[in-house]
Amino acid sequence: KRVAILISGGGSNMVSLVDSMTKDHPARPCLVLSNDAQAGGLKKAADRGIPTAVVDHRPFKGDRSAFEAELLKPLQEAQPDIVCLAGFMRVLTADFVSRFQGRMLNIHPSLLPKYKGLNTHARAIQAGDSEHGCSVHEVTAALDDGPILGQARVPIQADDTPESLAARVLAWEHKLYPEVLRRFAEGNRSPVLLP
């Protein structure tokens, strides 16, 4: 299976996914694609010998479909079987998502369906929750929605700040996403529940 990974920043989830795709794994990375030429993940991907591409979203201003028409080009070139959004910070239209329906995954730093959208760690602390975590889900037209393929639960500590909680959740993202991708690539849809 060929896997394309979309990033917007440091790409730590991309690195975890790429490094998990060893010889015995049913999938191989075929492209790392970013909407930001400054994304630190691009060098990490290149250092691992993975083809990279950049489609900057800014020249398109609010014209989402024009941006997505460009974004599709390197994806059509790479012919992925699976597309993983990993720290990709652009909302995708229903039309774009429909082209990858059933084979596009995303990781979100909350225990979905709680805390869709941004600033999830601060919101969980603010709400006085005792636990938080991350979810991998199939991407559908609705934001941070779609069937849950895996979750990792993380306790919130009394002295946690959004930053300390985010760091602890991120470490679990790096464990969860590779395990979900392996099962997904093998056609196994049973959810991964960690720890």
On whether the CB atoms of residues 100 and 138 are closer than 8 A, the answer is no
Q: Are 112 and 144 in contact (CB under 8 A)?
A: yes
* Identity of the residue, 7 or 75, whose beta carbon is nearer to ligand GRF in the bound complex: 7
Q: Is 11 annotated as a binding residue?
A: yes
Catalytic residue (one of 108, 121, 137, 174): 108
Of the two residues 69 and 162, which places its CB atom closer to ligand GRF in the complex?
162
Active site residue 174: no
Sheet containing 82-85, strands listed edge to edge, beginning at the edge strand earlier in sequence: 52-54, 28-34, 2-7, 82-85, 104-108, 131-138, 148-155, 192-194
Shortest spacing between CB 81 and ligand GRF, in angstroms? 21
Cβ pair 75, 96 in contact under 8 A: no
Instruction: Return residues touching ligand GRF (CB under 6 A).
Output: 7, 9-14, 41, 86-87, 107, 109, 170, 173
Q: Is 28 annotated as a binding residue?
A: no
In the complex, the smallest distance separating the C-beta of residue 31 from ligand GRF, rounded to whole angstroms, is 16
CA 38 – CA 45 distance, rounded (Å): 13
DSSP 3-state of 75: helix
- Please indicate if the annotation marks 183 as binding a ligand: no
Find the shortest distance in angstroms from Cβ 10 to ligand GRF: 4
Residues with catalytic annotation?
108
**Binding-site annotation, residues for (6R)-10-formyltetrahydrofolate:** 64, 106
